[in-house]
Amino acid sequence: MNHPFDLDNFESFLSEQADQHRMYASDGVWRKIQDRLHGKDRWPALTFGAILTTSVIAVVLTFTYPQKRLYNSPADFSSVSSISQSVARVSPVVQSKGQYTQSPVVAPVALLPVETVNYADAAVVEIGAPADQPFDINASISDENGNLENNASLPVGMQQVEENKAGRALTGSGQLTEIAFENNGKGNNAGNHSGLMSASNINALAAEVESSGNSIKADEATQDKVVSMNESISRNNFFASTMAYGPRKPGKSISGKNRWSLQLYATPSISYRYMLEDDKFTDDPTAANGPLAPYLTNPASDFVQHKPKLGLEIGSAFIYQLTDNFRVKTGLQANYRQFGIHAYATSAQRAMLTLNRENGIDSIIRYSSISTQSGYKTMDLSSNFLQIAIPIGFDMKVADTRSVDFYVSAAGQFTYQVASSYYILSDDYKNYLKQPDIDRKFNINTAVEAFASFEAGGITWQAGPQIRYQLLPGSKDVYPIREHLIDYGFKVGVVKKLK
């Protein structure tokens, strides 16, 4: 171990030792040098993808919903969404001026904006009408006799009521309230009915009215009750600050076959790999000759030069909608992944591969003409993988606007490797080899993604970034270097409801 040291040869000793020493810089050093020399790398594919996606969304929004505004604050409408789950049915309907019969009226429970009512005619109250309808907050509305006038500020969120005939149904946003009142000449007392109706009030009213049968006139007491209710609630108009909001996107009923969708997707991606030395192997004292290059203290990844390459994931999945915001999915997909390796052609060199098999260390001596460090010419290798996978995962809606929903998604992919061309490192990291019998056939990948979803042309489109990570190493456990793949992709998919 000890060097026969002679102070007379001190300089030559140090020089000799120092000259034998090598260190390998991290990838970042070269990138910084390159950036300084040639400017920063551009990533045209990503830029192009981002521009394309933005353009598609913009075009879809422009041409699909030209007249409708997006919510300023969708969260404010969540309460409406929830309360609209249950409705009370109220049945008075105007037949003509001053004449009322009954027809089904649907009113959302809890606080809802109620239309201005002109008692001179039918009173049809629409909740959440399109925001593009003009609304004059200081509208002065009078009945036919001119004795009904109201200059009070109307609750916001209301739409100006047009005169409606009996039985007319308005379906502004899927939440409809029709309330018809028998006007027996007291309309001037009632004035302009505007405001909000509470769930309990509506329910009480519904019960009261329905108890009188379907084709009976609502009695005056009932009408007065409704009128007084509306007036009182309108003073505490919850939607006073939501004037600018349009209606909520119509809800879609989810039931039976309607829950199933078919998704087709493709994900262009670029694959990177990173390498780790297997802790189990390094802790094993019998692995003294293991492929961990003991005289090189740098990690294996410092000895190789990776180059990402374009891959593709395509597949289809069945989606089952569990709730409005949550759905699960599974299907079948094919992955083509690849990454490049910068190497050098060299004369055949002896390369040892040590495998940690169950019955002990297995040393395999091979010859390789591919060097990681130097050679008579450079060469670019490519490790390729063709896989099929069964992804099982979920999508969760995290936000939405009128026309675009935003999801996050995660999936586990049970993967079988159909074919591969895969280079591994020799013990001393100096050579590349192929050893197909240690390639791992079954693997597990995880994928996380975020995407925007929007409808166009009768189908739902979705697009967003995806990251995929291979949990198990590309080689079996006998090989002491763990090599994991990680893919960065941009997923584009279409979803069609199954009939």
Partner 1 sequence: MNEDLIIEGCLNNSPVAQRELYNRYSPKMLSVCYRFAPSREDAEDMLQEGFIKVFSQIHTFQNKGAFEGWIRRIIVHTCINVLKRNKKFNDNVDMEYAMHASVRETIPSIMQAKQVVECIRLLPVGYRTVINLYAIEGYSHREISEIMDIEESTSRSQYTRAKAMLEQILVKRRIIDKKEPKPELVVAAM
In the complex, the residues that contact partner 1 under the rule CB under 8 A are 1-7, 10-11, 13-15, 17-26, 28-30, 32-34, 36-38, 294-295, 297, 305, 342, 373-374, 377-378
* Tokens 């002065």, located at residue: 140
Q: How far is the CB of 347 from partner 1 (least distance, A)?
A: 16
Q: Cβ 58 to partner 1, closest distance in Å?
A: 37
Residue 488 CB contacts under 8 Å (≥ 6 apart), including other chains: 269, 270, 272, 465, 466, 467
Asked if residues 143 and 188 have their Cβ atoms less than 8 Å apart, the reply is yes
> DSSP class of residue 184?
S
DSSP letter assigned to residue 163: P
Task: Specify whether the CB–CB gap between 181 and 91 falls below 8 A.
Answer: no
How buried is residue 344: exposed, middle or buried, by Cβ count under 10 Å (0-12/13-18/19+)? Answer: middle
- Least Å distance, CB 16 to partner 1, is 8
Nearer to partner 1, 101 or 371 (CB): 371
Strands in 219-304 per DSSP E = 260-277
Q: Which amino acid is at 498?
A: L
- Please report how close the Cβ of residue 37 comes to partner 1 at its closest, in angstroms: 6
Measured from the Cβ of residue 80, the count of other Cβ atoms closer than 10 Å reads 24
Supply the minimum distance, in Å, between the C-beta of residue 7 and partner 1: 6
Rounded least distance, CB 244 to partner 1, Å? 54
Residue 413: CB minimum distance to partner 1, A: 35
DSSP 8-state class, residue 334:
E
The distance of closest approach from Cβ of residue 373 to partner 1 in the complex, given in angstroms and rounded to an integer, is: 8
Closer Cβ to partner 1, 22 or 499, answer by number: 22
Minimum CB distance to partner 1, residue 12 (Å): 9
Nearer to partner 1, 6 or 358 (CB): 6
Decide whether 297 or 359 has the Cβ nearer to partner 1: 297
- Tell the smallest beta-carbon distance from residue 30 to partner 1 (Å): 6
Closest separation between CB of residue 352 and partner 1, Å?
16
As a residue count, the chain comes to: 499
For residue 77, the Cα-to-chain-centroid distance in whole angstroms is 21
- Our measurement of the distance from residue 64's CA atom to the centroid of its chain's CA atoms, rounded to an integer in Å, reads 21
Rounded to whole angstroms, how far apart are CA atoms 135 and 451?
36
Nearest to 445 by CA among 488, 391, 482: 391
Q: Which is nearer to partner 1, 283 or 358 (CB)?
A: 283
What is the rounded distance in angstroms from the CA atom of residue 231 to the CA atom of residue 43?
Answer: 61
Contacts of 201 (CB under 8 A, 6+ apart): 229, 233
Q: Which is nearer to partner 1, 86 or 374 (CB)?
A: 374
Please state, in angstroms and as integers, the Cα–Cα distance from residue 123 to each residue in 55, 136, 178, 203, following that order: 44, 18, 7, 19
d(CA 311, CA 466): 13
| Residue 223 or 431 with smaller CB distance to partner 1 | 431
Min CB(8)–partner 1 separation in Å: 10
Concatenating the DSSP letter of every residue in 305-316 gives EEEEEEEEEEEE
Q: Where are the beta strands (DSSP E) in 150-297?
A: 195-197, 260-277
CA 43 to chain centre: 23
**Nearer of residues 12 and 316 to partner 1, judged by Cβ:** 12
Is 373 or 446 the residue whose CB approaches partner 1 more closely? 373
- Cα–Cα nearest to 459, from 410, 415, 493: 493
- The token pair that represents 76 in the structure block: 């404010």
Q: How far is CA 255 from CA 323, 325, 345, 397, 422, in A?
A: 10, 14, 63, 18, 48
